[in-house]
Structure 1
């Protein structure tokens, strides 16, 4: 068994075919096929179902360990480079969009001051888009909304964020008052996160406790797009407090929902492998930014 065989196995599963795996690894399809066949022969089992191109039960077991080995191999080179006077290397960060809007400027400033030789790749997305990429090691670290879809991730809780009803500040659609209840929302044209997402699950759990059933006009897996629809007048949205950008706060505001708890946001690592030195440096930077910054956006609460 060698490293290239494990690399080929992971590439075939991720790409969905031997030919695409060959392109991803910049080698011939025949080389990929040979490496996987040799690995299967050595282990005495079939690792890939040739009809579905997915892993067999034995393949899933080997695949999980192979991913760990590949992550560790990448970290070795990064850590050796970082043993010089300055920490250097690449770090890929996944971030839910509402948090990215206010956190990224702070992170970039801190990175320039403390770790100028770290190169950051920042990918914004939803939990459902980012979690699989974190699980495979494509992302080194991610800021995600709790609860996570998988309990295998390692994480540190960062802050709580109020969930609010977004409404215009004036006009016939404006809702007055400082707070509403979930029952008050039943008469509104609601825009809600998609069923099955962490945020929607949290809303549904609160509704069950309050014996309330909400029927949304629109469901969508994408907080920023959902917010845009709300700002365009398509309805009222239940969103994190930071979903309202600064330039729209004269026209829109978030009203507290009395029986809806805040969401919790966490800094998350892949489920296996030791983080590289640059990853640990960025991980600590993010924790320090949240812990020390006295100008956190309205609606955020340190834990």
Structure 2
């Protein structure tokens, strides 16, 4: 299979349009159609239906293979370019919303003093895309946070030869409305809360699937869906009774209108990891050393 044909197929599927895919890729619509036809001929089956545009059963299965393959190809290109290139003067840091904190601010200040010509860029992105952005060179390094067992690595996707280093672990707690009967408990079993009303905020907190896997039970059905990265907005929903959520204990402590109780079972922590590929000497390498130290 030709990688360019796979890329064209993935783009057509994502945009559900041959013409939009042609515009994004810089091809004519005829060239896009020819590439799809050649890929279908190579595999001996139809991959797309045309009206409306969408993948066939075989197309959906191919897409499951194509997307990670394309990421790995871009990751290989970026990795070799980093090793072969001269030291970079840019600094683009990716971070999940809860990973941006005071320690990062101090480290960036030191980098700016060492490299006054550099203007650091911080891009706040979701956990599920950041590792790929590092692998493909869109960001130089990333701080990614999530739920894990103590000392266990985060379950990040396999997107290339990346280095991951733990930089922080905090206890986790269930955020509750002030005055909730469970507030102040010495510890809660996550499984006992499976039937409670939960907030679904995938950019900030563990998903229902992650909670079910951690607790080893069904449940955790979302009562309210929150799409955003504003922590204050999420805590305001907790305070007004729209659902519970799981957050690092220091984040919840002292939030107005919110109480909390630590999670005692299973043993879980909020873990933050530094993720990067090869780093030639420069501002990104200095930032990585500062964050690890």
| Same fold at TM > 0.5 | yes
The partner residue of 1:165 within 158, 169, 174 is 174
SS in 2 for 1:218: strand
Runs of 4+ with >6 A deviation: 212-217, 278-281
Measure how far apart 1:61 and its partner are. 5.1
Query: Alpha-carbon deviations, 1:155-204, whole Å to 9, x = none?
Result: 625232211133567xx558764623338975996535579x85655644
Aligned-partner Cα distance in 1 for 2:255–2:76? 46
Alignment CA distance shift 1:75-1:29 (3 Å) = farther
- Count of aligned pairs between the two proteins: 270
Alignment CA distance shift 1:75-1:232 (3 Å) = same
- TM-score, structure 1 as length reference: 0.61
> Which blocks of at least 5 consecutive residues in structure 1 are unaligned?
270-274, 293-303
Aligned-partner Cα distance in 1 for 2:209–2:242? 22
What are the residue-to-residue correspondences of 1:1-303 with 2, within 5 Å? 8-37=8-37, 44-45=42-43, 49-51=47-49, 52-53=54-55, 55=59, 64-74=68-78, 82-83=85-86, 86-89=87-90, 91=92, 93=94, 95-102=95-102, 104-106=104-106, 108-114=108-114, 116-117=117-118, 120-125=121-126, 127-128=127-128, 130=129, 134=133, 137=136, 140=139, 141-142=141-142, 143-145=144-146, 146=148, 147-148=154-155, 150=157, 154=162, 156-158=164-166, 159-167=168-176, 172-173=179-180, 177=184, 179-182=186-189, 190-193=197-200, 198=206, 200=208, 203-204=211-212, 207-208=215-216, 218=223, 220=225, 224=231, 225-234=233-242, 236-244=244-252, 249=255, 252=258, 254-261=260-267, 262-268=269-275, 275=277, 277=279, 282=284, 285-286=287-288, 288-289=290-291, 291-292=292-293
Alignment CA distance shift 1:151-1:184 (3 Å) = closer
Root-mean-square deviation over aligned CA pairs: 4.9
SS in 2 for 1:179: coil
- TM-score, structure 2 as length reference: 0.62
Measure how far apart 1:249 and its partner are. 4.0
Alignment CA distance shift 1:9-1:78 (3 Å) = farther
Measure how far apart 1:229 and its partner are. 0.6
SS in 2 for 1:162: strand
Measure how far apart 1:20 and its partner are. 1.7
